[in-house]
Amino acid sequence: MKGTALDKVIEDFSRLSLDDREIAGDLIRKQLIEAKREAMYNRAKSALANAKKGKIKSGTVKDLRKDLEVLSI
């Protein structure tokens, strides 16, 4: 059975020295943080664009519940 790319990464990671594992772990954490930051930026950018286009709705919690009830039917 052929392993996945993740299996190969894990296998290769386990062969690294402790110092190299620590460096690799730090790099991966930093890349994850940056990817999450970029995803949040893109979501905010999209939300602002929708707001400028008037595609947002405001209201009370009661209004939200009412809208959610309509969606669940």
Span 1-34, pLDDT tens digits: 467 999 999 999 999 999 999 999 999 999 999 9
Determine the pLDDT at residue 50.
95
How far are the Cα atoms of 11, 15, 21, 56 from residue 8, in angstroms, in the given order?
A: 5, 11, 15, 45
Question: Whole-angstrom Cα distance, residue 58 to residue 51?
Answer: 11
Determine the pLDDT at residue 73.
66
Residues 35-57 have pLDDT tens digits of: 999 999 999 999 999 999 999 88
Determine the pLDDT at residue 58.
87
pTM as predicted: 0.65
List the domain boundaries for the chain: 5-71
Report DSSP letters for 39-62, one per residue: HHHHHHHHHHHHHHTT------HH
